[in-house]
Amino acid sequence: MARILVIRAEMGKVVESKIVEGELYEVVRGYVSSASLEWDPRVSDFVVIKEDLETDVGDLPDRDTLESLTKYGSIEKVETGYRVRIPVYTISFDNRSLKGDVYVENKVYVVSVYVDDDLRALLESEAASITVQETPPEGVSEA
């Protein structure tokens, strides 16, 4: 079993961030299923995107994290510490296509292997920024 980071962001804010124990792919499937129950197919797309994130960490992760990294990602020694590569899944289930190629994500889950608190903070920040609306939707004026 691995430690899996699950983040839920809505309208520019992280509303939930937790670490669950489980197998990464089963946790992803579980949140895809959960998100599908909230999805309104009349107004929103349902999208699951997998990206690989590569970043450097200073210290060697603990044994459990090392096992997760070798199972789901990778780790290598570099001059400044260690470089890890992990899959990051974004589940978008409340979104809108506005005029042109403007696409607004209102609610997402971000799911990945937990590595450390620094990487958790980075993923929380990215999850929140995904759901920030730069401009209000058409017909809505800024206050």
Half-sphere exposure of 113 (CA within 13 A, CB side): 26
The percent of residues above 90 in pLDDT, for the chain, comes to 78
Average pLDDT over residues 90-114: 90
Half-sphere exposure of 104 (CA within 13 A, CB side): 17
Give residue limits of the domains in the chain: 2-130
pLDDT at 123: 97
Residue 141 has pLDDT above 60, yes or no: no
**Residue 140: DSSP 8-state:** -
Residue type, 96: R
pLDDT at 104: 87
Q: What is the largest CA-CA distance in the chain?
A: 53
Contact predicate 15/35, CB 8 Å: no
CA distances from 97 to 104, 114, 128 (A): 6, 32, 18
Give 12-68 as a DSSP string.
TEEEEEEEEEE-HHHHHHHHHHHHHHH--TTT---EEEEEEEEEEESSPPPHHHHHH
Q: What is the pTM of this model?
A: 0.89
